[in-house]
Every structure is written in C-alpha cells, then in structure tokens.
Amino acid sequence: MTEARGSAGPNGVTHARHAPGTPCWVSLMVHGLAATQEFYGALFGWEFRPGPQQLGPYVRALLDGREVAGIGQLPPDRHLPVAWTPYLASNDVDLTADAVRLCGGTVGVGPLDAAEAGRMAICSDPSGAVFGIWQTAAHLGTAITGVPGTPAWNELVTFETVTVAKFYETVFGYEEEAAASADLDYVGLHLDGRPVAGIHGVGTTLPRDRGPHWMTYFEVADADDAVERIVGLGGHVLRPAHDSAHGRVATVADPEGARFSVIQNPR
C-alpha cells in the first residue's frame, strides 16, 4: 500500500451515494458460508443478515448495524478462486459493462438486478483481475469506514501499471498519479483530486498461483493482535505485520485462502 488514502474520521464516516468509480462494496464468494461467517465475525466483530440470493446464498456483514461487506456461497461445482472482490460504483452498469468490453476487459456475470438492492456485473480487466460494478438502488454499498472492521483501501496488484491503468482510466474516468519514486511502479487512481484506489506493478514477484488481483485492506485497532487472532482462527500470514508510511500492515489469508490485508492507522 503506497498511495495516500482518503481521510476518515476516528469515529467512522457514514456514506451516502458513492460517486461513480469509487469502490463502494467488497464481497467474498466461498465454499463454506457458515465457517467463513464465524471467522470474520470473530475477527472483525461482524454480524450477518441475509442479502440478495440471485447468485446463491448470500449474507451482508454489519458492524454496529451498518453494512460493511458481503459474503456469498459458491456453487459446489464451481471451482473459482476464493477472493475478496471490490465493486466500483456506476450510474449505469450496462453502459459501464459495455465500456469494459470495448476496452479489452471481460464481463463474466450480468449485468443483472440484485432484487431491489441495485444492479450489478462482475468483470475482469485485461490482465485478468476480477472486480465488480454496482449501480445502487436500495443498497448504497459500504455504509461506514474509518473504524476497525471496515474496508480501508483497495489496491490492484498486477504485473505492470501502464496498460491496465489506461483501462481503468478510460472505463471509470480516473485521474492517474504516478509514484514519486522512479524505482516504484505504482499509480494512484483519483476522482476529483481524491485518491480512491491504487495499482501496484510488482513484475515477476506476482504470486504464480494467484495472478493479478485486487487486494482489500481492512482497518484494525492493532495489526499484531489481528494477525495473532487470524492464526488462532485458522487463517494464515502471508506477510507479517510491518510498519509502512500509512500505518502498520500485514497481508493474510482466511481459512479458505482468500487474501486480504489488515492495517492499523497511525493516530
């Protein structure tokens, strides 16, 4: 995590409608829905309630009664990667999906209506990284950020930034800001001058078993304590907690292998 992130108040920021292109939701598809709820409930203090069932069993995670993320169950015969997927806001999912195709991406699911909640599509960029598009109706997306247990940042980890950054810039209208260091292949994605996501080119160090992917960062009160709890709950540490310019951060995986990062913001 290299790019500066948007600010969030210490007591949380409650969101209304998200501007187009803004990451507005994160969702995870797993094989064991009940076990996954137990893991994240114990880790982040989430509670759960049923959500739209268009793609199968699905629950929304709540923190203090406000929605923060979604978890769905994969069909038994589908051997898809278990991964956190960010959804990017759109005023018209169908038009955005058309732009994805025109710019070399793929639309794998949808566009389709998710009951009264909104309209969605699941896509992949030209490098193969999966992301969602969300057009809000009754469901506005992540309702709170800036407190432990909420999404803090989304970052695309890929081979190189130049080609794929042009894709996202064209589809979603982002402004690009390259990293100040010539030794770092990093592009910040901005909307109206505000950082909303990042792209990190890591070349051949990209995990071969994973390929290009979006990484979601979740805020925690204490990164070292979170890592200890993750291991105790059956998860795995991929990169131990370490200090960064934006706080103490660790990269981990849940018991089914979904990768995510935890970050302890400096106070």
Q: What's the confidence (pLDDT) of residue 137?
A: 83
pLDDT of residue 77 exceeding 90: no
Q: Name the DSSP letter for residue 251.
A: E
- Please state whether the predicted TM-score (pTM) of the whole model is above 0.85: yes
pLDDT of residue 88 exceeding 90: yes
Please tell me the distance from the alpha carbon of residue 18 to that of residue 24, in angstroms, as a whole number.
6
Give the least confident one: 97-106, 131-140, 145-154: 131-140
Dihedral in degrees, nearest 10, Cα atoms 48, 51, 54, 58: 0
* Token code pair at residue 120: 């969605």
Please tell me the distance from the alpha carbon of residue 24 to that of residue 26, in angstroms, as a whole number.
7
CA 25 to chain centroid, in Å, comes to 7
Please tell me the distance from the alpha carbon of residue 77 to that of residue 220, in angstroms, as a whole number.
35
Helices then strands, counting H and E runs in the chain, come out as 4, 18
Please tell me the distance from the alpha carbon of residue 94 to that of residue 100, in angstroms, as a whole number.
10
- Alpha carbon separation from 181 to 106, 156, 185, 187 (Å, rounded): 32, 18, 8, 11
pLDDT averaged over the chain? 90
Q: Tokens 């925690």 appear where? A: 220
In this structure, which amino acid lies at residue 160? Answer: E
Q: With contact defined as beta carbons under 8 Å apart, do 200 and 10 qualify?
A: no
pLDDT of residue 4 exceeding 60: no
List the Cα angle 63/15/155 in 5-degree steps: 80
Q: What's the confidence (pLDDT) of residue 46?
A: 98
pLDDT of residue 14 exceeding 90: no
Q: How confident is the model at residue 5 (pLDDT cuts 50, 70, 90)?
A: very low
pLDDT of residue 97 exceeding 90: yes
Q: What's the confidence (pLDDT) of residue 2?
A: 47
Cβ neighbours of residue 126 closer than 8 Å, sequence gap 6 or more: 103, 104, 105, 163, 164, 167
Q: What is the mean pLDDT of residues 14-23?
A: 76
Is pLDDT larger for residue 155 or for residue 15? 155
Q: With contact defined as beta carbons under 8 Å apart, do 143 and 122 qualify?
A: no
Task: Taking the CA atoms of 215, 108, 32 and 67 in sequence, report the sign of the dihedral they define.
Answer: positive
Q: What's the confidence (pLDDT) of residue 9?
A: 39
List pLDDT tens digits, range 200-256.
999 988 888 789 999 999 999 999 999 999 999 999 999 999 998 889 999 999 999
List pLDDT tens digits, range 160-211.
999 999 999 999 999 999 876 778 899 999 999 999 999 999 998 888 878 9
pLDDT of residue 7 exceeding 70: no
